[in-house]
Structure 1
Amino acid sequence: MLIRVEIPVDAAGIDRLLRKAFARDDEADLVQQLREDGLLTLGIVATDDEGGVVGYAAFTPVDVQGEDRQWVALAPLAVEDSLRRQGIAEKLVYEGLDALNEFGYATVVVLGSPQYYQRFGFKPAAEHNLHCRWPQSEQTFQLYVLAEDALEGVSGLVAYPPHFDRF
């Protein structure tokens, strides 16, 4: 198993993984459109011994109150069904957080299970008067701070690219 930054040759494998993992086309179509529009800040893949993509984490830029503050969203995160519960998703997330920190990003947001993401250090965004556009997401919208001053003077709407409007 190799965890690394995605390269162009991984695109087809990422597409297959996302279509299978989510049993629908939405996430695969989303990643493809984000990639085409230059809105994938970072993609991390897990590959098997033959180089096949078996895990994927995507990171996309988000704005805070209409301002680019070097924040990104983690979405989607997927692992091949037969390999789940083996720590692959955890390795993808940690590799992404490490790389984003090295690249100078300030904060990562995620919309997902608090029980799952709190293990990485994600905290409720609502504690900092931050929210996203989706109703009923106060408990599931979380953030992970990479830069010490990332939350200074920040509150309000964290806006995802319009590509996410279908969700």
Structure 2
Amino acid sequence: MSELESIKRQAAELTKLGLKSDAAVIQRLCPAIAAALRAGFSHQAIHGTLGAAGFVTTWTNYRIALGRASKALATTTTPKVSALGVGHAAEPAFEAGMGETNSVPQKSGEMRTLSGTSSATRVMDALRQAREVANSKDYGRIGRDLYRQQQRDQRRKDRP
């Protein structure tokens, strides 16, 4: 059986289960998707096969869910240390064709880099971090201390 046929069959079964999340379906299909990539099929062909199986998802959702699933798989396949020494990690299911970034040809012939995490997620993380920094500082106290220091400097008799 072809890898794409396997993906189509598994996607149809998962669609019948009625899972609420596209990411949950794609995460369960990760081993089959990795096998299809190793066999030489493109992400576009795999995405099309998912649609033909009745699992309709946007290209962006497919790409982001696949990136997150590959990260989750990568963290679960880290080497384990045993009493006898370092063990070997399981073979990563995602090879160079399906890592953090992939290149997808555009209609105009240019290449666009795909990221595993959306830029909105990175922006939200940066905003959260900036808010934490701003909340951790008492700018009122800093301003009062600066003002008092300036007042003291003006009252000093031996000013430079």
TM-score normalised according to structure 1 size: 0.27
- Which structure features the higher share of helix residues? 2
TM-score normalised according to structure 2 size: 0.28
